[in-house]
Amino acid sequence: MTEKKLTFNLVTPQKQVVEDLPVDMVVLPALLGEMGILPGHIQTVVQLGMGSLRYKQKGKTEVFAVLGGFAEVSNNVVNVFAEGADLAGEIDEEAEKQRIKALKESLSNKDADIDFELAELEIKQALTRMKVKKRRF
């Protein structure tokens, strides 16, 4: 009997990051905690929070920083709809730090004409990316 695999799709509004990739396991950053998906998982729809998404393929693990979204598991197909997804290896910590610093400065400047909610969200996203980058699996 051939080993069962999951078919993994990761799409963001900007592009299709991963397409129809056979993987052994996917770990989703669900809103209520991380959630591991193995082949044969029950059909599920979950809302994703910000955090790390990982998949295992032949013993190798790839990590993404995901910024919220949804995931659907159905018939061994995992579809992830993420607001944003960055490969952990491609995250530039220094750039993220700079971005946070700039955003915090504009937040503390009361006269600045910026969208506070948006700025806070962006800080959160940058922090998430940094956290994912630092974490070791």
Partner 1 sequence: MESLRDIRQNIKAIESTKQIMQTMKMISNARIRRAQEAMLSARPFAKKMLEMVDDLRTDVLALPQAPEEAENIASRFFTNLSGDKNKVGLVAITGDKGLTGSFNAVVLRSVLQFLKKNEGKEIYIFAIGKKGRDFLSRLKMKNLHIVYESVGIFPKVSYAHAALLGERLLSVFFEEKLGSITLIYNDFKSLASQHLVEEQMLPFTFHTPASTPKEEGHDFEYEPGLLEIFKLLIPRLIKAHMYRVLLESQAANLAATMNAMDSASKNAGELVTALGIKLNKVRQAGITNEILDIVNGAEALNS
Catalog residues that contact partner 1 under the rule CB under 8 A. Answer: 9, 11-16, 19, 30-32, 35, 42-47, 69-70, 72, 74-75, 79, 81
Tell the smallest beta-carbon distance from residue 11 to partner 1 (Å): 4
Nearer to partner 1, 36 or 97 (CB): 36
Tell the smallest beta-carbon distance from residue 81 to partner 1 (Å): 6
Tell the smallest beta-carbon distance from residue 23 to partner 1 (Å): 17
Name the residue type at position 62.
E
Tell the smallest beta-carbon distance from residue 90 to partner 1 (Å): 17
Nearer to partner 1, 12 or 61 (CB): 12
Nearer to partner 1, 34 or 93 (CB): 34
Nearer to partner 1, 13 or 59 (CB): 13
Cβ burial 28-62 (10 Å sphere, 16+ → b, else e):
bbeeeeebebeeebeeeebebbbbbbbbbbeeeeb
Which residue matches tokens 């929070």?
49
3-state helix, strand, coil split of the chain in percent (to 5) is 30, 45, 25
CB neighbours (10 Å) of residue 2? 4
